[in-house]
Amino acid sequence: MLGFIIGIIAGAIQYWILVKFTKAVAGGILGLKTVCFAIAQFFLPAIILSGCAFLLRESLLFAGIGMAASLTILAISLFARSTKSGAPGTRKQRPGTGD
């Protein structure tokens, strides 16, 4: 159970870093901060899962499941919010106008 909670928290942090990194790259900002986000995005799962492997060996599977689940749920929720609010780049068709 502790591994699952650690995985959920780590997945949420990883999601936050991924969103910051993606926005920076999409905005054309390629500075030191963006590179730090990329490095953190790469090493965070390895550090968390290695820590679970050494300290909470029986919870390693649940930590991985928690990370994947939180990343997936947060990504789907962001997608649902962006399509519902009419984010830039999405155009809703009006019925009967042929647009």
Q: What is the pLDDT of residues 3-55, one digit of tens each?
A: 899 999 999 999 999 998 888 888 888 888 888 888 988 899 999 999 999 99
Residue at token pair 């809703």: 92
Residues 63, 18, 87, 24, Cα dihedral to 10°: 170
Would you state the structure tokens that stand for residue 94, as one six-digit string? 């009006």
In the prediction, which pLDDT does 82 show? 84
Between 51 and 84, name the one with better pLDDT. 51
Round to whole Å and give the CA distance between 16 and 22: 10
